[in-house]
Amino acid sequence: MKLIISGGGTGGHIFPAVAIANEVRRRHPDAEILFVGANGRMEMTRVPEAGYNIVGLDIAGLQRSFTPKNLLFPLKVMRAVRKAGKIINEFRPDAVVGVGGYASAPVLLAATSRAIPALIQEQNSYAGLVNKLLAKRVQRICVAYEGMAKFFPADRLVLTGNPVRTEIADGQRAEARAFFGLDERRPVLLVIGGSLGARTLNQATAAALPRLQAAGVQLLWQTGKLYFPEADKQAVPFAADGLHAHEFVHRMDLAYAAADVVVSRAGALSVSELCLTGKPSILVPSPNVAEDHQTKNALALTTKDAALLVRDAQATTTLYDQALALLQDPARQQQLSANIRALARPQATATIVDELLKLIPNK
C-alpha cells in the first residue's frame, strides 16, 4: 500500500496527519507513506521527527490584504500542481489524503485529475477554503463537527471527529508533576497558545505572574518560539514558586495530566485534545484566522457548558479573573470536565482510516 498525505502549516494540520499515518502503519506495517508539505513551514521538520519522509512544494497562501505577492499566486499554484503531479507519477500512490494547509490543494488537484482516490480531513467547524473548493473532486470528507453539509456534499460526508494521539490522555498526575518539577499539593494552570504561540495569551500571562504567585498557583506556559525569549525573562523571577515558561512542550500528555485548568486557543486540534483529556478549560479564540473559525470551534463547546469563553479583546483584562476563579472552584471544574469529556471521539483516527481503506479495497 502506498499513500500520500498532504498539508500542514500548523500543528493543527500536522499532528492529525501524523496520527492518520501512524494508524495506517499500525494496521499495515509495510505501507509506504509519503508526506507532501510546503517548504519553509513547520511540517518540514515535524514530520521527519515523527519518522516519515516528506517532500516540499514552493507554495503559500493568499495574503488577506492586497500585496504584489498575490499577483504571483496563480503562477505559484500552477508550478506547485506540476511538481505535485511529478511526485504522484513517481510515487504512484493508491490514495491521497489532504488535511488542509497550503500544500494539500496542489496534491489533491494533481491526484484527482489522475483518478486517484482522495480523502479530505476537515478539522474545524467552519470549512477551510481549500477543502471547500476541492470537495466535489474527492470521494470522502471526514469532519469533526455536525452540520457540515452546508459546506460539503452530504453524500460524501462522514462524521468522525479529529484524529488525536490517544496517548495524549494517558499521562499520570504524579509522574507529570514530578516531570515538570511541580508541587503535588498546589494547583497547576496550563497555558497553550498553539504550536506557533499567541501574543495575547502571552501578554496576559506575563502581566498575571504576580497574581498567580500570590494565589499559590503553579504555571506551565507554552509560549511559542517567537515569544519565548521575552517570556522566559519575565518568568525567571517566579520560577522558584513553580511558574515556568516553555518554548514548546513535547510531552503534552504529561502537561495535561499535571494541569487542573487549561487556558488555550481554540484550534481544532487543541479542542479535540481537551475533549479527550477532559480538562476544565477557558478558550480564547484567535481573531487572526479565516472566517473566525476558532470562535465557532469554541462555541461548539461553550453552548454545551463544556468550556468557558473569553474573547481575545478582553483577555488582557478578564482572562485571569476567570482563570483564578475556576482554579478555586473544584465543583465547577468537575462539571466542565464531565461535559467536555462527553464530546470526545476517541475512535476518530481509526474511523478515518477505515474510510480511507474503503477507497482502495484491492489493498
Please say if the pLDDT value at position 196 is more than 80. Answer: no
CB 122 within 8 A of CB 355: no
- 284 falls in which pLDDT band (50, 70, 90)? very high
Residue 195 is labelled as binding a ligand: yes
Strand partners for 219: 189, 243
Residue 124 annotated as binding site? yes
| pLDDT value of position 197 | 76
Check residues 145 and 95 and name the one with the higher pLDDT. Answer: 95
Residue 71, pLDDT score: 59
Tell me whether residue 268 is annotated as binding.
yes
Is 294 annotated in some ligand binding site?
Answer: yes
pLDDT exceeds cutoff 70 at 271: yes
How would residue 9 be classed by pLDDT, with cut points 50, 70 and 90?
A: confident
Which of residues 235 and 125 earns the better pLDDT score? 235
Tens digits of residue pLDDT in 60-113: 665 555 566 655 666 777 888 899 999 999 999 999 999 988 789 999 999 999
10 known ligand binder: yes
Name the strand (E) or helix (H) holding 57. strand 53-57
Which one has a higher pLDDT value, 362 or 288?
288
CA atoms of 209 and 75, how far apart (whole Å): 48
> What local confidence, expressed as pLDDT, does residue 64 receive?
53
Residue 164 confidence (pLDDT):
87
- Higher per-residue pLDDT: 158 or 124: 158
Q: What is the pLDDT of residues 211-261, one digit of tens each?
A: 999 999 999 999 998 999 999 999 999 999 999 999 999 899 999 999 999
Give me the mean pLDDT over the 351-363 stretch. 91
Beta partners for 37?
56
Is 269 annotated for ligand binding?
A: yes
What cell numbers appear for 292 in the block? Answer: 473566525
The answer to whether residues 191 and 220 touch, using CB atoms and an 8 Å cutoff, is yes
What does the pLDDT average to over 334-357? Answer: 96
pLDDT value of position 272 = 93
Would the annotation count 12 as a binding residue? yes
Measured N-to-C along each axis, helices 268-277 and 11-27 cross at an angle, to the nearest 10 degrees, of: 60
One-letter-per-residue 3-state SS of 69-125 = HHHCHHHHHHHHHHHHHHHHHHHCCCEEEECCCCCHHHHHHHHHCCCCCEEEEECCC
Structural domains of the chain, ranges and CATH numbers in brackets:
2-164+346-358 (3.40.50.2000), 167-341 (3.40.50.2000)
In the structure, what pLDDT confidence band is assigned to residue 128 with cuts at 50, 70 and 90? Answer: confident
Q: Is 329 helix (H, G, I), strand (E, B) or coil?
A: coil
Please tell me whether 11 is known to bind a ligand: yes
8 is in an annotated binding site: no
165 known ligand binder: yes
Over the chain, what is the mean pLDDT? 92
pLDDT digits (tens, 9 = 90+) for 289-325: 877 889 999 999 999 999 999 999 999 999 999 999 9
pLDDT at residue 12 in the model:
77
Instruction: Classify 178 in phi/psi space as left (phi over 0), alpha (psi -120 to 50) or beta.
Output: alpha
DSSP label at 55? E
Which residues are within 8 A (CB) of 206 and not within 5 positions of it... i.e. 6 or more apart? 230, 231, 234, 235
